[in-house]
Every structure is written in structure tokens, then in C-alpha cells.
Amino acid sequence: MNAVPLRNNKAAASAVRTITVLGATGSIGDSTMDLLRASPERYQVEALTANGNVEGLARLAKEFNARFVAVADASKLGELREALAGTNIAFGAGENAIIEAAERPADWVMAAVSGAAGLKPALAAADRGATIALANKECLVCAGDFFMDRAAKAGACILPADSEHNALFQALASGNREELVRVIITASGGPFRTWKAADIAQATLAQALKHPNWSMGQKITIDSASMMNKGLEVIEASYLFALSPDEIDVLVHPQSIVHGMVEFSDRSVMAQLGTPDMRTPIAHCLGWPDRITGRAAALDLAKIGSLTFEAPDYDRFPGLKLAYDALRTGNGATTVYNAANEVAVAAFVAQRIRFGGIAQLVEATLNNWVRAGNLAPLTSADDAISVDHDARNSAAALLPQIALKAS
């Protein structure tokens, strides 16, 4: 059973929609708040959360008259109390407070807490049947099977907020599941799209952070440079739309105008296009099942002039192939893929491994995990978190030999 509504049924929307934003001070949260700011008469903010940015969280809470705010860093409770002095805004700190924010009675929840820390809050929102705009990859990469199952059982509506998955969501409305041949996720190719493999392996942090089209956080920008982000998106698409790995293709599209395509049995290919701006997919989720006025720039195809496409190179970007391998292996392998990649990226940022060592560490961690016979299905958030923890420890233990190999 799938909690993603593949057909837009135009369910009646409330006149004023109550909103919770998990991760309100991050880049996705910032885009969401910008859209809410444009239509204050349509939305009431129920809860906002942040990891540790107390100043930014308090500022947003006052601006939007939030009813509850929470910061993940428990040590900042006093700082948050001081920042909200003189208001009637309820507040909390720590993991339980973030979960409480997700459990509060908002119609619509933006799940944009990054990392595995976003899993339990998103599940809390799903368990009460909320409409969830999902921007946290880890919910699906680490726990896709049971996350979608629980969401479906609770009657939750999962709306993809990533640009690529939102594009697929819109394009899928053009046909039925039995008519689908494949979905196509587009990739910019990142800053190393035309580089030779040897040069990519030795790329610096500054070079990896020069994304040609998107302005994103450090981690996702590095993932784009390695194309690990496309691997994560392939895994997400599989769980979101109940697709096999063979039904998901990746196509490099340097202009980042076509965000996703769906091919149907009659050979029609439906595509969603737009300027590279996260406010477009977020606006689609925020207004669904209707459409609202967006804040992104209008698409001018005549000015762009041409759109080009090319096949991905799995030899130069091995992280993408590893994602397909993990997805086919199943039983927690995608959780290991994600955890090892996070350890690898952190090591690269800390200059402990070369850029080429990122994929090498992920591959070595996956191989060790499979050889150890750890192929049990994940049935709970605790299962996923346990595998995530073990995979991080395994990746950390492998770091020294990968550092020597990639030097």
C-alpha cells in the first residue's frame, strides 16, 4: 500500500491550513517560510523547530505567531526561554520536544529535519494521519518500507518536497500505475560533470562546493558533486512510488530545468519543468490538492535556448551504481549506504580522505555489512537507527585504510 497519492483527487482543503515546519531555519525551511509569508491569510503556524539556531527560531516564532517551538539541542533550553520571554509561545528542547512538535494538530507538516534525526518526528506526524511534505531523505533511505506502510495505515498523505520527486509526482498524475514503464530522475551532473575520473578523485572541498545551478547546504552540495544525491533519490523514488530499481533511470541534464519525467506504455513521456528554485516543489506541496501562487522566477525557455541530456557515467561516479546495488540488496542496505556516505562526507570535509575516498568508503562499508550476514528486514525506527549506528561505526573503523588507499 502506498501513502503517496498518485492521483490528484482534489480533496477539499480547509480555508485556513495549520502548518508545522520541522527544520524551519534550514534552507528548505527558509523557502517554506518565504511562501507562508506571502499568504498569511491562508496559513496558521502551529509549530516550528530548529537544530540549534535559537535566534532564528525565536525570530520566526514571533513573526508567525507560532503556538509551539522546539530546539533539538537540549542544552539550549535556557537560551530559548530567554529568547521567547514576554510571549505566550510554548517551547521545549531535545528529541522529545521535536517529536512533540510533530505530534501537535497541524494539517500540514514540512519534514525538513536533516539526517536520521528526522525519522522519529516524521513518523510521529505520519502516525496521526497528517499531510507531510517530505524533504528528509533519511526517512525513506533508512526506513522506506515501514515508513510508507505506517503512513498508509494511518491515512497520512506523503507529498514529495524534493524537486525531482515532486516532478515525478506531478507527471505520474498523467497515467495509471499499470501504464507506467519507467520514471526518469534528472541530475545536473554537479561541478565535476566533465572532469576525468583521476581529477575527480583528487578534487578539493572548494571545488566540490561550486555547484553550477543550485544553492544548497554543504552536505547536499558535496553529495551532488559525487552524485551520491542521485543515488539517494533513486532509493527514495523506489519507496515513495513502489517502483523496482529497473523502473528508475537517471539522466544527466546540466540546465536543471527538467526535474523529472515519466514514460507510459504508449511511449508518451510526461515531464515537469521549472527554474531551479526549491520554492516551486514546496509551493506545490503547500497548496495541494490545489495550486498557489509561487515565488520562483517564471520559466523562460526562449532565453535558456536549449536543453541537453546525457547518460550518467557510473565509472566516474560510482556512488550512483552503489545506490542501485543497495536497493537491490534491501534489508537495511540502503540505511548502510546513507550512513557510510555521511561518515565519508564528514571525513572529506575534515580533510581525512580524498574526494575519491567517499565512494570507496561507502562500498567497503556495504561489502563488510553484507559479508557479516546482516540481512534482516527493518520493522521499526529503532531497527533503522540501530543499523545506522552500526554502519557509522563500521565506516569510521574503515576510514584509515580508505585514507591510505585514496591518497
259 is in an annotated binding site: no
Question: Looking at domain 17-160, which CATH architecture does it have?
Answer: 3-Layer(aba) Sandwich (3.40)
Question: Who's near 286: CB < 8 A, 6+ residues apart?
Answer: 32, 35, 36, 108, 133, 292
217 is in an annotated binding site: yes
260 is in an annotated binding site: no
Helix axes 333-349, 357-371, angle to 10 degrees: 150
221 is in an annotated binding site: no
27 is in an annotated binding site: yes
- The confidence score (pLDDT) of residue 243 equals 97
236 is in an annotated binding site: no
Q: Is-contact 277 298, C-beta < 8 A?
A: no
Domain coordinates in residue numbering, the chain: 17-160, 162-314, 330-406
Three cell numbers written together for 353: 580522505
The residue to which cell 512538535 is assigned: 101
Q: Give the count of beta carbons closer than 10 Å to the beta carbon of residue 316.
A: 18
Measure CA 378 to chain center.
Answer: 20
28 is in an annotated binding site: yes
Q: Is-contact 145 119, C-beta < 8 A?
A: no
- The confidence score (pLDDT) of residue 378 equals 87
26 is in an annotated binding site: yes
65 is in an annotated binding site: no
Residues of the chain short of pLDDT 70, as ranges, are 1-3, 5-14, 214-215, 406-407
The whole-model pTM stands at: 0.91
10 is in an annotated binding site: no
8 is in an annotated binding site: no
How far is 190 from 188, CA to CA, in rounded Å?
5
User: 130 to each of 44, 103, 182, 396, how far by Cα in Å?
Assistant: 15, 9, 29, 37
213 is in an annotated binding site: no
- The confidence score (pLDDT) of residue 6 equals 52
Amino acid at 184: I
DSSP codes of every residue in 88-103: --EEEESHHHHHHHHH
Fold type of domain 330-406: Rna Polymerase Sigma Factor; Chain: A (1.10.1740)
53 is in an annotated binding site: yes
DSSP codes of every residue in 118-187: GHHHHHHHHHTT-EEEE--THHHHTTHHHHHHHHHHHT-EEEE-SHHHHHHHHHHTTS-GGGEEEEEEEE
Provide the 3-class DSSP secondary structure of residue 46: strand
- The confidence score (pLDDT) of residue 407 equals 56
Residues 283/335/128/7 CA torsion (nearest 10 deg): 50
